[in-house]
A and B are shown apart, each in its own frame.
Chain A
Amino acid sequence: MGEKPKDEILHDHNNDGVDRRGFLKCMAWAGTGALCVMQGGVLKSYSMSRISELDAKQIAGELSFVQISDSHMGFNKPANPDVAGTLKVAIDKINGLATPPEFMLHTGDISHLSKPEEFDTVDQILKGASAKDVFYVPGEHDVLNDDGQQYLERYGKGTKGAGWYSFDKKGVHFIGLVNVLNLKAGGLGTLGHEQLEWMEDDVAHLKSSTPIVVFAHIPLWSVYPEWGWGTEDSAQALAYLKKFGSVTVLNGHIHQTMQKIEGNVTFHTAASTSFPQPQPGKADSPGPMKVPADQLRSLLGITDVNYVRGQHALAVVDSTLG
């Protein structure tokens, strides 16, 4: 990279957590797409409009995958009467990426009402993606009425418990968690004792230099507990990951991009492919946000994640559908 782009932020990263100015700028760009890269404890952020000016090596790596989330197939209210259409646009966007992703993560709320035909429609649309492998975790909309039995039958092959599992790709260890079942009155998302024990065992044998990617539907950090945007026992899960130098946590559920860095952990939520939700506390409820039709696609999106060996964290790029 030659001249430093004007939009670049380069701040020291304090041990007490987030570089607030940097974080807010990433947030502000979320509507148009932002690239936030964590390198050696320093947050770098670029607006998507400047991606073309960057050295390709900065955003490419040995492993590239895409996260999509919250398709809500079956939703047909004014906030987006055509969720199949916007999911197709998301797949077109993925197929057009300069570095084809090796696989996709879907972080839940595949369906709106857990209806078989809703899952069928999503499966059919995802077949159009260049990346054939899709790794899922359920959202609360995928486990309605049957405590997730149908979800397990469709997507849970080879998983443990309610559908949690792990796998390795090019030296990166991925952990898919389920935090949408057995929710208690007044509470948040829940992982539960059995899943936490499994996770502790799952990471026990890994070297601390192994990059870790954890993905689950409801955020594993406290985004806004008043709206249920957090997970009761996520602190226990994160405690098992303390020894690792690079941990990336990918979530959905809140239908907007948000990023937070805490010590060795980068938290990131993906945009939805269906409808946007309001910023925390900026509306009476977290219900679907109605925006003018010509603005809708600018609030929906996909997340492209790149891992470059030797770098401190994975590069997470959000891009909108329009």
Chain B
Amino acid sequence: MIRRTMSIFGLAALVLVGLGILFNGSANVAANTQPPATTEVKIDNFSFTPVTLTVTAGTTVTWTNRDDIPHTVVSADDAKTFKSKVMDTDEKFSFTFTKAGTYTYFCSVHPKMTGTVVVK
């Protein structure tokens, strides 16, 4: 009797774990097939947040300047893959990353401000 009860509990636990895997699995599939349309980077206190952002190819990243001072977002590579105009307070800049890679960028007005976008 005791053994039987345990096996019932064990079975129930297994079913729960299995459901959990199924649920998580389907959530992951949903995330991969429907990525968020845009991802935000905030500029506060002369820094980019998050300082490193990981996105999937095809994601549009939008930077918003929340400082009292203008900033820019400029790709650090020689080709200047992306380059914003100067952004005053609350102004935004967006760029859609189509190719996988690691993109370092900075504020050309305050070059100590740097950030990275990793595209997978």
Q: Could you list which residues of chain A lie within 8 angstroms of chain B, going by C-beta atoms?
A: 77-79, 112-114, 140-141, 144-145, 183-188, 225-228, 284-288
Which residues of B have CB within 8 Å of A288?
68-69
Contact in complex: A140, B46 (CB < 8 Å) = no
Given A79-B68, A145-B85, A185-B106, A226–B112 Cβ distance below 8 Å? yes
Given A286-B46, A287-B68, A185–B104 Cβ distance below 8 Å? yes
Contact in complex: A185, B70 (CB < 8 Å) = no
Q: In the docked arrangement, what's the CA distance between A145 and B72, Å?
A: 9
- B7 contacts partner chain A, Cβ-Cβ < 8 Å: no
Q: In the docked arrangement, what's the CA distance between A144 and B85, Å?
A: 8
The 9 closest A-B pairs by CB, nearest first: A185-B106, A285-B46, A285-B45, A185-B76, A228-B112, A183-B111, A144-B86, A77-B68, A284-B45
Contact in complex: B112, A113 (CB < 8 Å) = no
Q: In the docked arrangement, what's the CA distance between A294 and B117, Å?
A: 44
Contact in complex: A186, B109 (CB < 8 Å) = no
For chains A and B in complex, what number of residue pairs have CB atoms within 8 angstroms?
A: 59
CB A296 to nearest CB in B, in angstroms, measures 15
Contact in complex: A186, B111 (CB < 8 Å) = yes
18 contacts between A and B (CB under 8 A): A77-B68, A114-B86, A141-B70, A141-B109, A183-B108, A183-B109, A184-B111, A185-B74, A185-B106, A188-B112, A226-B112, A227-B46, A227-B112, A228-B111, A228-B112, A285-B46, A285-B47, A288-B68
Which residues of A have CB within 8 Å of B64?
none
Interface digits, B66-82 against A, CB 8 Å rule (1 contact, 0 not)? 01111010101000000
Q: In the docked arrangement, what's the CA distance between A187 and B114, Å?
A: 10
Q: A140-B110, A185-B74, A285-B67 are in contact. List 10 more A-B contacts (CB 8 A).
A: A77-B68, A145-B86, A184-B111, A185-B106, A186-B106, A186-B114, A187-B112, A188-B111, A225-B112, A228-B111
Which residues of B have CB within 8 Å of A188?
111-112
Contact in complex: B110, A228 (CB < 8 Å) = yes
Q: Could you list which residues of chain B lie within 8 angstroms of chain A, going by C-beta atoms?
A: 45-47, 67-70, 72, 74, 76, 85-86, 88-89, 104-106, 108-112, 114
Q: Closest residue to A147 on the B side, CB-wise?
A: B108
Contact in complex: B67, A287 (CB < 8 Å) = yes
Q: In the docked arrangement, what's the CA distance between A185 and B110, Å?
A: 9
CB B91 to nearest CB in A, in angstroms, measures 10
Which residues of A have CB within 8 Å of B69?
287-288
Given A285-B47, A286-B46, A287-B46, A113–B67 Cβ distance below 8 Å? no
CB A87 to nearest CB in B, in angstroms, measures 18
Q: Closest residue to B72 on the A side, CB-wise?
A: A144
CB A234 to nearest CB in B, in angstroms, measures 15
Which residues of B have CB within 8 Å of A287?
45-46, 67-69
Contact in complex: B68, A112 (CB < 8 Å) = no
Which residues of B have CB within 8 Å of A79?
68
Q: Which of B88, B109, B110, B111: most chain A Cβ within 10 A?
A: B111
Q: In the docked arrangement, what's the CA distance between A96 and B57, Å?
A: 63
Which residues of A have CB within 8 Å of B104?
185
Q: In the docked arrangement, what's the CA distance between A187 and B108, Å?
A: 10
Q: In the docked arrangement, what's the CA distance between A186 and B74, Å?
A: 12
Contact in complex: A185, B114 (CB < 8 Å) = yes
Given A185-B105, A287-B45, A287-B69, A77–B89 Cβ distance below 8 Å? yes
